[in-house]
Amino acid sequence: MTIAAARCTGCGGCAAVCPHQALRLRFDVEPASTRHSAAYTLTCESCKRTFHALTPEHTHCVLCQSPEFAVRL
């Protein structure tokens, strides 16, 4: 996954949708820089949908990990 600093508008959309809460916006520091992070496309063992994770060890998507959503399966 790549977030280009030059295209950032500061809207916070990326931080709002990140299931790992790995992003945050701070305006009190130096200008944004581009950072490349590995993202893995995996298949959930429960619902069989594809999902993205920062490490390949994940076996379930964020919905299937959440107890309040488990009843839908």
The pLDDT of residue 59 is 93
Instruction: Give the model's pLDDT for residue 51.
Output: 93
At 45, is the pLDDT very low, low, confident or very high (cuts 50, 70, 90)?
very high
What one-character DSSP code corresponds to residue 30?
S
Q: Are strands 50-53 and 40-43 parallel, antiparallel or unpaired?
A: antiparallel
Sign of CA dihedral 49, 68, 15, 37: negative
Whole-model pTM: value is 0.47
- Residue type present at position 69: F
